[in-house]
Structures are given as structure tokens and as C-alpha cells.
Amino acid sequence: MNSKVLEGISRAKINLHLAVLGRRGDGYHNISTLMAELELADRLALRIIKISADCETSVSVIDSGGTCSHITGGIEPGKNLISIGAMNYLKRVDTQAVVEFSIVKNIPSGAGLGGGSSNAACAIELIRRALGRERDKAVFSAAAETGSDVPFFLYGGFALASGRGEVVEPVDFSCKYHVILVNNGIHVNTAEAYRVLRRDYLYNGPDHTDNSTLMKKYMGKLDNWKKVMKNDFEDAIFPLYPELGNVKEELYGLGADYAAMTGSGSTVFGVFESYNRAIDACDSLKNGNNVVLTKFAL
């Protein structure tokens, strides 16, 4: 095989709704979430150096710039989700290879935007394409093993996710709304967020915060979003970090049609139907915050 370079786009996501339903017997938590892909994205490129039954499989990741390029170099090779996802997939298709990824990194890490999970899904897809294989069970099982959010990025768009996040149901919906991402540099530990939320009972049935049916019914009108959507983690995180709650309130004060925290934090986002209001809000929020204006991916 030649060393032709394949390229892919690895998009960020936000959780428009996130209900934590309780701890499972395997230690994970069941969730019900509505996720949406954004135009904000990293770019990955794959070069397969060698494929041979005689070689030892290895995956390297090279920093190729971007607004968050410092992140790539700070991750230990064995802990980079690009490497983990690629290795998981190669193992499942019984292929030994030496591969190299380069990444232009624009999605902040530890911000609830799914950058690492998105990178892993993109890496799996690029290797699948390079090997000329179908999108079969190996792709999805490798994604699920790599991380709870990774399977979502194999679908993209808007999707409901349940279980620990690996059960994905695409939602036939698209919109041209504008999204402001606000991050003030606070790092929220996910395990700590779950602990503070205290949803540690065993899951044994539907929970009253599972609004998936209502969301599918009413999400066509932006006015309905804050009636049927919320992020349970806000109840745990905002008392610990009032600044994050203040950002949400400020977004509403600046004309956001919907605002919430994504994931377990710490990015807070606002959805705007009006582009002019979104631009004005960005200008107002820039003092002391990292602010990004983007849109839902079409």
C-alpha cells in the first residue's frame, strides 16, 4: 500500500439536553442526551506507513497547528484518544500497521465539547477508508470501547444517545441557528461532577428527567427548547462554580433563545436565531472569556 494521505474533519459537539439517570451495575451512569455537531472542528490527516503481518502496530500523532495546538503535545502517546481508537479498530480487523496522524487542533480540551472523542471517531473512519473496509460492527465496537461519546461522532448531526452514551439514535433535524461557546478557563473534573450530583442508585427503569420523546416532538421550534431541555450537571456544578451559572444568565440577558452548559462543563453555550444578536453577545462576553461563534453543522 502506498502512503497516500487521507484527510477528515473532526467536529465539536454540544449537549443540548443531558439527563443523568443513575449508576449502572458496571460503574458507569445511564444517561439520556441530545447531542448536536458544530461547525467548529479539528482536521486530521492519516498516512499509513506500513501494513504487514511482520510489523508491530504503532500509532503516532503529530501536531500541525491550530488555535489549540498546545493540547496535542501535552497528551501522553498512550492516552491520546486518536491512538487508542486507531489501535482498537486495527485490533478488531486483525491488521498490523504503522500509521501516522497529523492534527490541526481547534477544539479546546476538557470543555465538554467532545474534541477527543470526535478525534477518535475520525481516526477510526480514516483507517477504515484507507483499508477499503465496510462500516461494519468493528467500527462501532471500536468506537464504543474507546469512549462513551465516540459512537455519536460516527453519525454526527443531531442525535439522541442513551445507555452510557453508546446507544445512538440519529434525529432528522437541521437548523441554521448561531451558537456561542463561552469558556472562562475553569476545569471541571467529570468524576467529581458525577459524585456531587449523587445519582449513585442503580438504574432500574425510565427516569422522570428522560425527556427524549418530548424533545423529538417539540425541538422544531426554538421557543420550546428551554421548556423540555436541561443539563442535570448544572445542579451540581453551578453551586461550586457560580461564574458558570452567571455566564448562562448573561447569555439569556444578551438575547440567547436557549442557553446551557455542555457535558459536565465547563463550556456554557447560547443558541441565537439572530446573527446580529449573536455578534453583539460575543463582543459583550469577550472580557476574560474564550468566546467562539459557530453554527450547527449541516
> Which residues does the annotation mark as catalytic?
13, 149
What is the C-alpha to C-alpha distance for residues 129 and 52, in angstroms, rounded to an integer?
A: 17
CB contact set of 213 (below 8 Å; sequence gap of 6+): none
C-alpha cell of residue 292: 467562539
